[in-house]
Amino acid sequence: MSRAYPHPVIAREGWPFLALAVVVAALLTWLGWTVLAVLAWIAALFVLQFFRDPARTIPVDPKAVLAPADGRIVKVEKGRDPYLDRDALKISVFMNVFNVHSNRSPVDGKVVNRWYHAGSFLNAALDKASLENERNALHLRTAAGQDVTCVQIAGLVARRILCYVEPGAELARGQRYGFIRFGSRVDVYLDPSARPRVAVGDKVLATETILAEFA
């Protein structure tokens, strides 16, 4: 199933950065400073690719838990969900600066709660980043009563987590709900009975990749 996202292909979060980069590159070109102009245009292209936000095809499987972000799987393990204080299956997606950084809901569900924690800016690929870095967590509950915790985590370079939903909001699978700038990570906590469909090292695409299936 395809769904047109209600936002531009270039994320609006990047418009100020892209505009500044293009203005600087154009000015340097006009001044005839060739070497600096070339470097500035390269920087502008980097900003353009970083803030791309393409539409995605949504799997139809109602039991599927979808990837909330593009990136690489760095953790698939049974552990503890620190937000709901429960045993859980934890799956972590690490985003580098070349991945799409728009965050999308992994399930159809209602936002039950939201937590924000200020913190450090460690390398998001490290395990301790889950508990020490700046982060924003959402508790989602599906119509079938499944609880899903989805946590946006700032990285070494990231300095701002954006989340656009509050408790009471209804999210559809693949719906855009947030953005993290310049390198980060998203942790997903599920009931331990959920069956993982990815392994450490796998590359995933937000919405299109199935992380796990509810039992």
Sign of the C-alpha dihedral, residues 92, 97, 98, 100? positive
Judge contact between 65 and 213, C-beta under 8 A.
Answer: yes
- Catalytic status, residue 184: yes
By residue count, the chain amounts to 215
Q: Spell out the residues 6+ positions from residue 172 whose beta carbon is closer than 8 angstroms to its own.
A: 3, 105, 108
User: 92, 105, 184, 193: which one is catalytic?
Assistant: 184
What is the C-alpha separation between 105 and 122, in angstroms, rounded? 25
Q: What are residue 160's phi and psi, to 5 degrees?
A: -155, 125
Query: Active-site residue numbers?
Result: 184
